[in-house]
Amino acid sequence: MVRCGNVQKTRTSLYRLLGVLLLMSTVWDDAVAKNTNLEDAKAFLDDYNEQAMVVYYQSAQASWVYNTNITDYNQQKEIEASLVSAAFTKLVYENATLFDETNFPDDIKRQFKFIKDIGSAALEDESKIEEYNQVINTMLDIYSTSTVCRPEKPSECFTLDGDEEKNLNGLSQIMASSTDYEELKWAWEGFRDAVGVTNKPHYIRYVELANEIAEANGYPDMGAYWRANYETDDIIGDAYALYEEILPIYEQLHAYVRRRLKEHYGDEIYKRGSLPANVLGDMWGRFWGQIYDLVVPYPDKPNIDVTDEMVKQGYTAQRMFNMSDEFFSSCGLIPAPKEFWDHSMIVHPTDGRKVVCHPTAWDFSNRKDFRIKMCTEIHMDHLLTIHHEMGHIQYYLQYKDLPISFRGGANIAFHEAVGEVMTLSVGTPKHLYEIGLLDENLEDEETDINFLLKTSLDTIGTLPFSLALEQWRWDVFAGEVPQNEWMKRWWQLKEELVGVKPPVDRSEEDCDPAAMFHIVGAYSFLRYYIRTIIQFQFHKGMCDAAGHTGPLHRCDIYNSKEAGDKLAEMLQMGKSKPWPDAMEAITGQREMSAVAIKEYYAPLLEWLKKTNEENGEYIGWDSGRANAASVILLVISTFLTGFFIY
């Protein structure tokens, strides 16, 4: 952890490293002497692109080193690099403001728009930029390295993902595989005591600093700043409209899962109530896929979770990544470059290093260095995650030659959707048969229901979770919820929108949100909600291009150059155009819509309705569900009256 005594050292390094950058200001000042001159503006942007690739590469490299080797020294180096990056970004911003872009072409104006959105660099106080980065790094360090020990056996300790070299087991494995209610409750609570409670004071400070950053960029709070990325007037209204569209199938899925879990856990599950958060397959109840074995509709059908077959065939992490790369190549897309294979971290290091295992894809901004960081296990879920992360890499590769300001998703949900859409093909029985993980190509009604139920646990099941999480942060950033009611609001939203409750009593001494990677890592979460909807729009667009006939859920775009061309057309746009243009390129539509996801899961919805009716299931949940509609209306009206500022 960086101490206050290191601040002067950091600043000294900063000024030394910035020396060459400060020389650039003279060049740029000359270039902006005629601030309406288009050629001067182009020269400025060309200069920025060349210098930015150098500065942002160094920042990404320092961050990579820290994330793959968590030490105090590496954290210090990451902070130094981030301060250089922030100073450079601010210098560019100051020079960009000397131009009047009013009469420039749209693409030039759009580049200036993104250059002037400078995030934490907008803070006047350099020490606060340093503190902001330090707070996030500290929370991520706590998240990745905190240990939980069994009270009856103090020598048996766990981190979230485990560490074989240090003989530490993984709490994630317990949450994914244990069916012992008390053990799941212990792991769930222990992780939150170790991580959430410890991170709470850091998260309080993070919220203060994040809001200062938002205000410095012209927004009332960080929630509003994040939402502005969508370039639309009412993204909150859009999000809740989508929630209402998927709610009927979510309620049916929730009721079915509740009955099947009650068969196993007995009185721990209330037949008309919310689901305990500890029995949903992961530490947060975000993805329910790990409980598939407990809820599979037709257990006598061949197992479409091919984890055991992967182990039997001797799969390795390298083989899984090679298969994913080949999937993209089969569609005529760009294979991963040599630098990717040379520098990625695809398994947990065996040399004793502490690392952040959460899978992430990295763009080093120099047009050739792209990497993935992941502690791969031989598991079907990890095979799908690899295809997701490789989807990000494909996006990077397709837009790498654009100006640096345009290297990004059309909006931040697009990047996630591109990653996820590939899994809709890879997880089909048809594709699993094609790559030798199923003995036969199964296309019958019962297998379809098994497949749709399995995928719905990670798609339909996660949608309300994502919305509730982001609504909580919007409330916190906006000051709508005082610190002494954070937990009350968190679980109110979870119960009312998600139908999930804590397995043990929670108090305001706790801070469950601060035990989640995306919250302490400062990732906006609306992207994951929207991506889960629009990935099905992308899927339908590519399946149509591939000439697929039959049910949408049976489409596999493997080996379809036509589908690859359709995807590439959109990816190559980066964020050079507003996202409706990118949406139109791949789907022919200009709006986010739940039509495709509803078409995909239509057979499952009918089956769930019939099955739940036959079993006399209560649809919905008693705990707060009756007021969910009024909660939605209240949320929307609050934001429309107070935060309509995009």
Q: Which residues are catalytic?
A: 389, 518
Q: Rounded to an integer, what distance in angstroms lies between the CA atom of residue 602 and that of residue 611?
A: 14
| Beta-sheet pairing, 275-276 with 500-501 | parallel
Sequence-distant (6+) residues with CB within 8 A of 478 are: 220, 221, 223, 224, 642, 643
Residue 325: φ, ψ to 5°: -60, -40
Q: Rounded to an integer, what distance in angstroms lies between the CA atom of residue 601 and that of residue 540?
A: 13
Q: Rounded to an integer, what distance in angstroms lies between the CA atom of residue 229 and that of residue 339?
A: 31
Residue 47 · residue 111 · CB < 8 Å: no
DSSP for 416-441 reads HHHHHHHHHHHTSHHHHHHTTSSSS-
| Beta-sheet pairing, 169-170 with 370-373 | unpaired
Q: Rounded to an integer, what distance in angstroms lies between the CA atom of residue 326 and that of residue 320?
A: 10
Residue 360: φ, ψ to 5°: -145, 150
Largest CA distance in the chain: 77
* Cβ count within 10 A of residue 580: 16
Q: Rounded to an integer, what distance in angstroms lies between the CA atom of residue 397 and that of residue 426?
A: 21
DSSP for 484-532 reads GGHHHHHHHHIIIII-EE-SS---TT--GGGGSHHHHTT--SHHHHHHH
**Helix-strand-coil percent breakdown of the chain, rounded to 5?**
65, 5, 30
DSSP for 534-603 reads HHHHHHHHHHHHTT--S-GGG---TT-HHHHHHHHHHHTTTTSS-HHHHHHHHHS-SS--SHHHHHHTHH
Start-to-end CA distance of the chain, whole Å, equals: 37
Residue 619 · residue 255 · CB < 8 Å: yes
Residue 514 · residue 520 · CB < 8 Å: yes
Q: Rounded to an integer, what distance in angstroms lies between the CA atom of residue 422 and that of residue 387?
A: 6
DSSP state of 353: -
The letter for the amino acid at 436 is G
Q: Rounded to an integer, what distance in angstroms lies between the CA atom of residue 343 and that of residue 341?
A: 6
Sequence-distant (6+) residues with CB within 8 A of 574 are: 398, 399, 402, 406, 407, 408, 409, 410
DSSP for 443-487 reads -SHHHHHHHHHHHHHHTGGGHHHHHHHHHHHHHHHTT-S-GGGHH
The letter for the amino acid at 162 is G
DSSP state of 645: -
Residue 186: φ, ψ to 5°: -60, -45
